[in-house]
Amino acid sequence: MTGELNPIIAEAALCLWEACLDAGNPEWRKGWSDETANAAALVEQYRDGWGSFELRHLCIRLAPECERVWQGLNDSDRDQMQFDWEFCPAFVLFCLDWETEPTLETDLNVRADAFERVRAFISRERLARGN
């Protein structure tokens, strides 16, 4: 490996991978809104079509962008959500354009309104769960 491993980016990649695995678990999707469950189904479809290897590497390549979006949220937003259990699933499900097919050389597009999408996801799911 060339260069030093950035532990913050490595953690982001692992959290993204975990969110992708969770998205494919029907038990995990049970408590979510229909919109979230439908988004999770797209992630599962991608994994089934492209394989776990490609999805893991996609998570590695997207980790710096994930961290950029996280750091772009204001302190109040970050204080109200957990990075691994709330933000990363929101990033995976709603900030990435799963409907455009990436290739081995290109990644999924991060939507321009990623910050707003994360905030909306957290608000919507908290309301749905009564929190």
Q: What is the pLDDT of residues 90-103, one digit of tens each?
A: 888 888 877 766 55
- 53, 11 Cβ separation under 8 angstroms: no
Measured CA to CA, the distance from residue 115 to residue 2 in angstroms comes to 32
Q: What is the pLDDT of residues 49-82, one digit of tens each?
A: 888 898 898 899 889 999 999 998 889 888 888 8
For position 1, what pLDDT does the model report?
44
Q: What is the pLDDT of residues 28-40, one digit of tens each?
A: 777 777 878 888 8
The rounded percent of the chain whose pLDDT value lies above 70 is: 85
Residues in the chain: 131
Taking 80 as the threshold, does the pLDDT of residue 126 lie above it? no
Taking 80 as the threshold, does the pLDDT of residue 128 lie above it? no
Q: Which two tokens stand for residue 85?
A: 């259990």
**pTM of the predicted model as reported, rounded to 2 decimal places:** 0.81
What average pLDDT is seen over the chain? 82
